[in-house]
Structures are given as C-alpha cells and as structure tokens.
Amino acid sequence: MSEADLTETGALSAGLLEAAGRICAQIGARALFVHADALKELGPLGQLPPDVERYVTTCSAELYATLVGRGCRAIRLPELALGRLDIIKMGVLIALSEGSITKQDTIVCLSGLAENGQIDTLMVFRLDREKEMFQTSDLPNAVDGIDPKVFEAVLSLSLELASEGREGKPRGALLVLGDHELVLQYSRQLVINPFHGYPESQRNILDPSLRETIKEFSAIDGAFVIRGDGVIEAAGRHLNAAPRADLPSGLGARHMAAAGITEVSAATSFAVSESTGTVSVFKDGKVLMQINKSQPARPARKKKGS
C-alpha cells in the first residue's frame, strides 16, 4: 500500500471516529463499539467520547493485551476472519450478556476488515427495533446466572468449531450454558459422560488447555451441558424438550433441541450447523442471533501507538 493510500485510509478512519462521537452526542447513544483490528494505529481511540460506554473488539491476543487498561472495555473475539456485521454482532451480544447495555439502548458501531486497515462502516442500532442483527425483539437485558467471561468463551468456541470443523471436515455441535440442574433433568446420557469424575478445576471452559479436548468431544452425538461458572457437567446429552414455537425454515433437529431446552429453562444454547457453519444462539425458545461461518484470520499487523 502506498504512502498516499495509507494517508487516505487513516483519514477515513479518523473521520468516521470523529463522526461517531458527534452522532453519539446527538442521539444520546448509550454505547460506542469500535473494531480495533481495522485501525492502522490505536492513537485515535484516545479521542472516543468519555460520556458513553466504549467497547473495543479485536481478534488478536497481542492487541487485546494492549487494549486492556485504555479506558475502554476490550472484547476478545476468536481469531477468525469475521465479516463487518458479525464483528458487531459478537461485541453487542457479549455486552448484552454482561448487562452493561440493554435492549432499550441505542448504540453506534464502527467496523471494518483487518486486511483493509481502515474503519469503513458506521452503523446505528436501536436494539429493540433491530431485525438485521437479531432474529427476535424479545432481547434479554442480561444473561442471568452466567459469568460474562464464560458466555464469551462459549460463543468464541462455537465459532471456532464452525470455522475449523475437525480434521478438515465440517462438524455440528450443541452447547447449553446455564441453569444446568434443570437442563440435566430435561436430558439423558447417550454415551458415558467423558467429564464424569474429574475435578471441577480440570473441566472449566475458561481453561485454554481444555479447548482442544472439547473440540474432540464435539464428535460425540448430543449436547454439552455447561454451568454458568464454566464447569462442564456433561457431554453427549440427548435433550428431551421440544420447542412450542415455530423456528425459521432450514433449521434441523439440533436447532429444535437447542430451542426447546431454552424454552423450559433459563439456559442459553449455541447450535453449530454442520451443513452451513452458521452459529445460532437461542434464548427463551427463540433464535436470538445467527453468526455466519468465518475463516481463520490472517496474522494481525503491529499497530502504531500500541
């Protein structure tokens, strides 16, 4: 990229950041989301308006460590080449799970692709009226009883499973998070539970060393049942509850099970489609959000000001 191109992309990013600040003030936005991977340098993040909740997303572990402590809530996304809208979806869903924004809020989002090195998309959402981002208007104000870090980990793991599959082959999966006692009542083991008998410290989804084990066990038919604090209670569970509400066309038995268990419990479920790689998030028996299959991300460039 030429020096002129770099100047142009930097100017566009800076201009959109400045415009986003003005828009936040004009419409009384609750929060501003910025995807840091699309910034050529991090300096402009210091100019974000201080009177709104500020969220900065990244797919880079190195950049995430740099962003922590900059006065913004840093959100680590999986190392995948997510589309512009899917980047926004993930950040907003994680913020909703924390309860730091609500379904009544208006938010401003800045996004772009890391390989382009510029912010090129500005979007404004009134969450309870938004149909492109959410499949239902019945949004939760928070995910009760679930550690936000656990919610973030399960969502990221679901997207990794969708993107990577296993041994080069697509693989579906179903993860049920929260209200585990009721979920276990409405389910039964299909196979011997591979997590039975292990100490809780060795079966917590927040442990990075467990991720590959979970991916291996995703080959087992049935669902993972995960406590709100991240401890995996079981894998290979058959979910007995069926949804009463009609689901969108094209969703199969795994999605029916995912919807049904969230209708009879306070759990949130994550269904990975084997055929399309789409991750569907269910709450209260309905599809809350769908995120499209992504590819592994390219290595992130070093940011100026980091």
CATH at 177:
3.40.1700.10
Q: Does 218 score more than 60 pLDDT?
A: yes
Same domain, 156 and 279: yes
Mean pLDDT of the chain: 86
Same domain, 23 and 73: yes
Q: Tell me, what DSSP letter sits at residue 244?
A: S
The one-letter amino acid at 244: R
Same domain, 154 and 125: no
Report H helices in the chain: 3-27, 61-67, 84-98, 148-164, 180-185, 211-217, 253-264
pLDDT in tens, 196-209: 999 999 999 999 99
Same domain, 89 and 202: no
Same domain, 17 and 84: yes
Report which of residues 71 and 137 the model is more confident about.
71
Same domain, 118 and 180: no
pLDDT in tens, 233-292: 999 999 998 877 777 777 788 999 999 999 999 999 999 998 888 999 999 888 888 998
Q: Which backbone phi and psi does 275 adopt, to 5 degrees?
A: -80, -35
Strand (E) or helix (H) holding 167:
none
Asked if residue 160 belongs to a domain, the reply is: yes
Question: In this structure, is the dihedral angle defined by the CA atoms of residues 242, 243, 246 and 247, taken in order, positive or negative?
Answer: negative
Which position has the token pair 């697509």? Answer: 170
Tell me what percent of the chain is helix, strand and coil, each rounded to the nearest 5: 35, 25, 40
Q: Does 165 score more than 80 pLDDT?
A: no
Same domain, 122 and 154: no
Please give the radius of gyration of the chain, using alpha carbons only, rounded to the nearest integer.
Answer: 20
Asked if residue 154 belongs to a domain, the reply is: yes
Question: In this structure, is the dihedral angle defined by the CA atoms of residues 53, 81, 161 and 274, taken in order, positive or negative?
Answer: positive
State how far the alpha carbon of 39 is from the alpha carbons of 4, 87, 91, 268, in Å. 16, 14, 17, 33
Q: Does 4 score more than 50 pLDDT?
A: no
Total structural domains in the chain?
2
CA distance 261 to 64: 34
Same domain, 105 and 201: no
Same domain, 29 and 75: yes
Predicted local confidence at residue 271, as pLDDT: 95
104 is in which domain, residue-wise? 3-129
Report which of residues 13 and 205 the model is more confident about.
205
